[in-house]
Structure 1
């Protein structure tokens, strides 16, 4: 049975789901009835973070131009440029057994591609969610619906997975940024 979380809530993943080693992180969204002349292209990314909360190199950043990190520890399944249809619009797969010991957090983000030039922002996005699915049996473990708390933001940190001793936990974040992908990259220590 899936658990619905609210902003800021945390949940233990691996302790309450013994044997869980691999999850599918499904991200989805819709756009409001808005005609700005351009399709919305939202992009999921993952930042693999060290003890100081920062990524150290491009190898710690998984997105549509770098689909895999650390021999499959995190894999992006591909870019959906329109978000059409129901269900997940983009997916990331995390294999906790392959995440190097020096990586303590994995931040999951979504940005709007070319948001500034297209005049787009998360105020025009609705029904945004992240869900975590056990890859072994396709059971949805948890879901976090972001709500409609955004206006001018062009990037959002949806959630983070974090390691506490030998266990992996999940935190619903829902924090918006202006400045798109560049702002997130800088926030996480890359240039």
Structure 2
């Protein structure tokens, strides 16, 4: 059964049968903005370009690597990005992830202690205007979901209105085991590099 993550909740990466998760996906699903037409007649759809990104840090919180739409693979091959989605769901929620970041926890370099996930609105459309946006963490691949481990709704909260950047959560290594910290907090950053800096300073 999936866990509905609450902000600040820390969970161990354990499947329902007690074994540890090794290959996990972080998927983001979101929709285009619907706008009323001229004089209130009809509606139009405005594409939304959200960008899921992943930053890897060492134990000293020094940045090692960033995986995003411009760099789809970590240097050690442990993290992969499915590619840039520039529009979101234009015809309503299809239930599929628009962008997926796949993490092979067993392949992460021993130097990495933190794997952080961020979401940025590339065109500056604030999160409060997007009809739906959610994150889910699951075992499987970008095209096959074996078991949903956790899900997190990031659209239906007033705190995100007026923001274009947020920290989703952080995988962190403790006593040799990977755990996950659900953060789900908006930041005042405008660009990815600013959000990465904020993560390193405040969320590890």
Which TM-score band applies after superposition, normalised by the shorter structure?
0.7 to 0.9
- CA shift, 1:34, in A, is 3.9
1:186 counterpart SS class: helix
Q: Contact (CA 8 Å) 2:116, 2:199: kept in 1 or not?
A: no
C-alpha distance in 1, partners of 2:71/2:57? 16
Partner residue, 2:24 = 23
TM-aligned CA deviation for residue 38 of structure 1: 4.9
* Bigger relative contact order, structure 1 or 2 (CA pairs below 8 A, ≥6 apart): 1
Q: Tell me, which stretches of 5 or more residues in structure 1 are unaligned?
A: none
Offset, 1:15: 7.8
Q: 1:78-101 CA distances to partner (integer Å, 9 max, x unpaired)?
A: 111111143211100000011111
Q: Give the total of aligned pairs.
A: 182
Per the normalisation by structure 2, the TM-score is: 0.79
Name the TM-score, length of structure 1 as normaliser: 0.84
Instruction: Report deviation, 1:19.
Output: 4.4
Moved over 3 A (4+): 14-17, 31-38
Equivalent of 2:138 in 127, 133, 138: 133
Q: Return closer, same or farther for 1:89/1:15 CA change in 2, 3 Å cut-off.
A: closer
Pick closer, same or farther for the CA change 1:12–1:19 going to 2, 3 Å: closer
Partner residue, 1:92? 101
* 2:150 is equivalent to residue 142 of structure 1: yes
Q: Is contact 1:6-1:145 (8 Å) kept?
A: no
Tell me what 1:6 maps to.
6
1:24–1:135 contact (8 Å) kept in structure 2: yes
Larger gyration radius, structure 1 or structure 2: 2
SS class of match (2:51): strand
- SS at 1:104 equivalent: strand
Structure 2: 5+ residue stretches without partners:
37-43
SS in 2 for 1:79: coil
* 3-state SS in 2 of match to 1:143: strand
Structure 1 residues 90-169: aligned runs within 5 Å: 90-115=99-124, 120-135=125-140, 138-146=146-154, 147-148=156-157, 149-169=159-179
Cα offsets for 1:97-142 (capped at 9, x unmatched): 1111121111111111131xxxx21121243221111128711111
Change (3 A) 1:73 1:4: same
